[in-house]
Structure 1
């Protein structure tokens, strides 16, 4: 693959189609968090009661901010950093907007590592090798503690960079038009398999029956934070995608479609995870321990487990790669905008930087002791903490302040009726900033309940 000579669809005239844009935006929000984090935080905070709270937060903060990012991107027709200024903002917003370039780049450096894990486990599951040894925790720790993850990291980067090098319509849109329908099919197949397992009804009941006694201010902030993160807000993706949206596209309708897609994915993820873990007596722990250690034990015990396990890890790989493509496009668009480079050269440079910065994360699970224990976290976890808990909430707060208080042409850019614009502006001025500040203080550990 010669990225330096890639020329397809690299100019600013390259645009998403209406369907392609919505699928690409849904692809950015369909990530790993909803599969291994959402079920855990839902179960710990009241099941359906928390899910209802999540929907409310999605409406109050998620959708208004999502629309703001899309509108700023389309009005500015630049990168996540320059769109603020090109849309009519002061230069200081360009400097602040750079946070929404830095954050996705740093996230990408460790996200492609996890994408590589999912690809590796898909191969292991389909081949049956994964189930030869039932010490799944030992298998995972041995894998991540060696050099093999770097090979899969490189494979994930190559897939991602190949798609982005093909441009918007010929690369990102075409990629999502194939993978998102495939993702939907896999979700439905795995959901049907999960809810028909022996004892699955108890898991469904646990997920869908509300327990309002478990709701608390802490739960509200967790729901608010997840609504924010699950829509890929504050990381420049929707600002960047907005720059490639046709002026005829209704941003209000697109916002609702993207929000609905995110909500449905979260719901189905719960209907896959909860019935499975209840059927096999697995703890609903969050993170890699659930996906790479506990669930393989469930697949090994069910009929055709290697097949369904393979499908599950392919599902995770699709979710990871569609998000990786979205993350990758942000710094690529920035360097194209900032330095006037072609798409091929930009992709090549970002690919090399992602690999180099990401290698310490890949080596921080035991093979490099200096990277394994750094103030209670390894290098991988520190990058995750800084980006997710500090940079992303800051990025979202900057967007709400700009759109709510400083953007003079917001009404025209958003394309809303007078009534809906007034509601949207009210949310951006008086609701979203306060709630976003609370999320920032909570996720950074400065406040707790």
Structure 2
């Protein structure tokens, strides 16, 4: 007997859950970093342009497929596809993508949790710059510690999901996202009060077209396209699941725009935290992944009451990480419920074991399995999993959603438009049909092929 579909209790729960899935660690540290590299405000303008023309239509399509089918990506294509068509075969790739994503994201989230404990306990107090750098290296190279923090993150995510959609996933995500926004505003105010903070703001926001040209307009445009595309977590059914939990009172374009605004607000505010602090203490904000684990702890060390501000910052980062983990776990758990008729509890328990087992190679990637370097020296299991998700499955998935929603041998344009525009709010413009049917797929194919070339041959 088919189980009755669970529903979210509120619109704000849907927006916070979907935004929580989109707001991740990558766009919090990567957005400020690439913004600085490509001329500050000049890059922000290019990024916002691509966010609207690239990310928004695909997000609306994913929500539409989820809401119309009332299923996760595991069965949504099967429900909506014309008889005899094979769109549902992509479901297996999408499900694999979600598993691969948590298999590396749980390790990074585990490091975040470890750093919050280290910062709050005062472990960084009085440490030299070299010692702070070594702390991160030691954490990565300690197999027991990496596995422990990874398992703790998985247990937290599964505990939230086992409480139920409304009482666990929705309620806890609402609290976390509210606290994330609150802590972020406190950190922005603190960062803006530092000596020399305004230099950081100028660097961040005033368009520097000379810097943009210096690093290459093509590179800047491609980076902005990639950032806009990947920041919304589209292409693997991560948004479709939340579409399946909502009613038809609101149009999906309006809701997608709200989620996009919230995601962008957090990314831009992260720059207001990071750039003034880096300028104030004379450190490089363009240090890539090391920014969070090496550069910023050194800044907090040099700051008065740095232990408090550092702890708040890592609370902020943990909420960003856990909101994504919980959203993706909910998608994975729904696979078992939709495909096999499992109860929520049974699906959580089975997936708890699968996710822990699958995440162990990544957690050991910098220690026991450090000899496995898929992309040459310095790369690890994490890089391979990230590449598979970000550069392969997400672009392919986005092309599938685009074709499925615009082709008569798929779900079709008319069915998509009727679903997307059901309810009150912003309507999906029907005049964009040619653009989303032909031009947007070409842009996604370009991102896909250039991403492959850059990773494998550049």
Whether TM exceeds 0.5 here: the answer is yes
Contact 2:420 2:427 in 1 (8 A): no
Structure 2 alignment gaps of length 5 or more: none
Render the CA deviation track for 1:187-240: whole Å, top value 9, x for unaligned: 101111111111111111011011234151221121111111111111211011
Which stretch of the first structure deviates more once superposed, 49-58 or 397-406?
A: 397-406
Q: Distance in 1 between matches of 2:435 and 2:11?
A: 26
**174, 181, 188: which is aligned to 1:184?**
181
Q: Which residue of 2 aligns with 1:6?
A: none
| TM-score relative to the length of structure 2 | 0.91
Q: Which residue of 2 aligns with 1:442?
A: 450
Q: Distance in 2 between matches of 1:335 and 1:139?
A: 39
Any residues of structure 2 matched to 1:423-442 within 5 Å, and which?
423-442=431-450
Any residues of structure 2 matched to 1:192-341 within 5 Å, and which?
192-213=189-210, 214=212, 216-341=217-342
Render the CA deviation track for 1:345-377: whole Å, top value 9, x for unaligned: 111111111111111111111343433576442
**107, 110, 114: which is aligned to 2:104?**
110
Render the CA deviation track for 1:144-168: whole Å, top value 9, x for unaligned: 1002121111111111001111222
Q: Distance in 1 between matches of 2:327 and 2:344?
A: 15
Contact 1:62 1:227 in 2 (8 A): yes
| TM-score relative to the length of structure 1 | 0.93
Q: Distance in 2 between matches of 1:133 and 1:25?
A: 39
**Count of residue pairs brought into register by the alignment:** 440
Q: Which residue of 2 aligns with 1:5?
A: none
Q: Distance in 2 between matches of 1:200 and 1:164?
A: 41
**TM-fit CA distance, 1:407:** 2.3
CA gap 1:56/1:331 in 2 versus in 1, 3 angstroms: same
Any residues of structure 2 matched to 1:78-157 within 5 Å, and which?
78-89=71-82, 91-134=85-128, 135-146=131-142, 147-157=144-154
Render the CA deviation track for 1:377-428: whole Å, top value 9, x for unaligned: 2111111112111111111111111112232311211116998441343332
Q: Which residue of 1 aligns with 2:390?
A: 388
Any residues of structure 2 matched to 1:32-43 within 5 Å, and which?
32-43=25-36
Q: Which residue of 2 aligns with 1:7?
A: none
Instruction: Name the SS of the counterpart of 1:370 in structure 2.
Output: coil
Q: Distance in 2 between matches of 1:312 and 1:374?
A: 32
Q: Which residue of 2 aligns with 1:3?
A: none
Q: Distance in 1 between matches of 2:375 and 2:448?
A: 23
Q: CA RMSD in A?
A: 2.0
Q: Is the aligned partner of 1:73 residue 2:66?
A: yes
CA gap 1:419/1:191 in 2 versus in 1, 3 angstroms: closer
Structure 1 alignment gaps of length 5 or more: 1-9
Q: Which residue of 2 aligns with 1:172?
A: 169
CA gap 1:420/1:241 in 2 versus in 1, 3 angstroms: closer
Q: Distance in 1 between matches of 2:312 and 2:245?
A: 33
